[in-house]
């Protein structure tokens, strides 16, 4: 069997800027088998999901990803997490993602209100741009609502999704049961999160 190997490298810079922005900027480059996931074996973890692709079609490809993730500490009660990412994989796709997550502690030490606006655009080579937008509002309970990263957490949320026809065609999972062709949806529910 003819397969390709590859290389990946990750460089990151972490620094608090201006006393209120704890940020991490990351550059990831992958070649050949790692081109489609430049962060493979780096910040994306080892061997999970589509970490690498040894198909001969990957030979000669290079993928580059640059992103910044950080938390803005505007006050004891108001924080905001932001993420901006651009990615380019030779002859395959360009990706742009932007996320904003405001977090406001209520008068209780345990309850906070969270929001999220996320925009994702994938431009496959030779295809139409696939666009997806997500907007979420949630009520959250944790042991310390002043800490954006406090876990475990329990959230009660409502989310709205909008996507274009190209995104629906390129991602069969973007469907609404019983409503073919629909390009938006609203969901609500509860979510628990904890980390090890």
Three-state DSSP at 2 gives: coil
Q: What is the pLDDT of residue 48?
A: 47
pLDDT reading at 40 higher than 90: no
Summarize pLDDT for 124-160 with one digit per residue, the tens.
Answer: 999 999 999 999 999 999 999 999 999 999 999 999 9
- Inter-residue contact 157 to 189 (CB < 8 Å): yes
Smallest Cα–Cα separation from 97: which of 64, 52, 61, 66? 66
Backbone φ and ψ of 154, nearest 5°: -125, 125
- What's the predicted TM-score (pTM) here? 0.86
End-to-end CA distance of the chain: 39
Rg over CA atoms, the chain: 19
Q: Which tokens belong to 46?
A: 């080892």
């Amino acid at each position: 069997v003819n397969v390709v190997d590859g290389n990946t490298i990750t460089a990151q810079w972490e620094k608090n800027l201006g006393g209120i922005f704890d940020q991490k900027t990351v550059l990831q480059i992958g070649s050949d088998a790692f081109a489609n996931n430049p962060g493979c074996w780096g910040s994306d973890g080892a061997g999970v999901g589509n970490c690498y692709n040894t198909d001969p079609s990957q030979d000669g490809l290079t993928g580059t990803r640059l992103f910044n993730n950080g938390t803005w500490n505007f006050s004891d009660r108001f924080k905001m997490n932001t993420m901006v990412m651009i990615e380019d994989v030779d002859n395959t796709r360009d990706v742009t993602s932007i996320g904003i997550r405001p977090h406001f502690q209520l008068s209780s030490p345990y309850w906070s209100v969270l929001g999220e606006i996320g925009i994702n655009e994938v431009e496959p080579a030779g295809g139409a741009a696939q666009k997806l937008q997500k907007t979420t509002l949630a009520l959250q309970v944790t042991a310390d609502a002043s800490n954006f990263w406090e876990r475990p957490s329990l959230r009660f949320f409502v989310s709205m999704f909008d996507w274009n026809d190209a995104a629906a065609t390129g991602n069969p999972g973007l469907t609404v049961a019983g409503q073919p062709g629909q390009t938006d949806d609203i969901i609500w529910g509860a979510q628990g999160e904890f980390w090890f």
